[in-house]
Amino acid sequence: MPFTPKSLFGSIPALITPMKDGAVDEIAFRQLVRWQIAQGSNGLVPCGTTGESPTLSHAEHMRVIDITLEESDGRVPVIAGAGSNSTAEAISLTRHAKEMGADAVLSVTGYYNKPSQEGIYRHYAAIAEAVDIPIILYNIPARAIVEISVDTMARLSKIPNIIGVKDATANLARVLRERAACGPDWVQLSGEDGTALAYMAQGAQGVISVTANVAPKLCSDFQKACREGRWSDALKLQLKLMPLHDAMFCEPSPGPVKFAVSQLGLCTDEVRLPMMSVTDAARTRIRAALDQVGIKAE
């Protein structure tokens, strides 16, 4: 089925990148991708922050995207992480994602550089002009320091291949403001599991989720309930998932989610410096959250 912006919906995990002895564990990653699709995930995002993209080499980054595309084999959309605080590097990563067959890219604002709103606009406009692929903006001021204003987003929405946003601001007042500014076809994906219910209730299409790495079926069921307007069921599922949402950020991500997935026997909990594996206290909390939502550790 040809890709359209409407193809992006539901539960879309921001995939972890399994590691073993300092290297990307390709066998574990392939297994993870297959499991995600079998469990009902509606799309996949390799090489986001949860996938430790800042510490992947360019070769590793490209390989992780390639594996995702190979294993998904067109069954679900693949939104490749292709952001950088260097516009030239972002264009290079975006070009590779298109060449490999990704359906869209996720592109973050210029973290650390702290560009102005005009700088943010020109950064994204340059990427969109250089590579003809659907682009999802990634608005995450907690990590990037800078935030895409609603006015800037409205300007960017007029560029044909900039089609939507992953919103990790947790600012629920923005949802309707962005829709009013960008139009009804603007793809709105929550980037924050804890506020996803309220985000969906305001007309969003889905969520790019951390928790879906470890609870893909529950997250998919939650999203399905939202899309079908079964808000009472969605609330029950979100209440069930909330302890796990919170546990995934009890220490810096992706340490907690990697440990959680390791408890399912799908990978090790190894991360790359400067990230750290979680503490004993966090392990206890994560195990308790898994048990609370009915996920049995090995």
How far apart are the C-alpha atoms of 164 and 287, rounded to whole Å? 35
How far apart are the C-alpha atoms of 274 and 38, rounded to whole Å? 33
Locate 125 and state its tokens.
Answer: 């406009």
- Cross-strand partners of 189: 166, 206
In Å, how far are 54, 66, 117, 144, 253 from 274, measured between CA atoms? 10, 26, 30, 17, 11
In this structure, how many other beta carbons lie within 10 angstroms of the beta carbon of residue 73?
10
Q: Look up tokens 């995600």; give the residue.
A: 36
| Backbone Cα Rg of the chain | 18
Residues that are catalytic: 138, 166
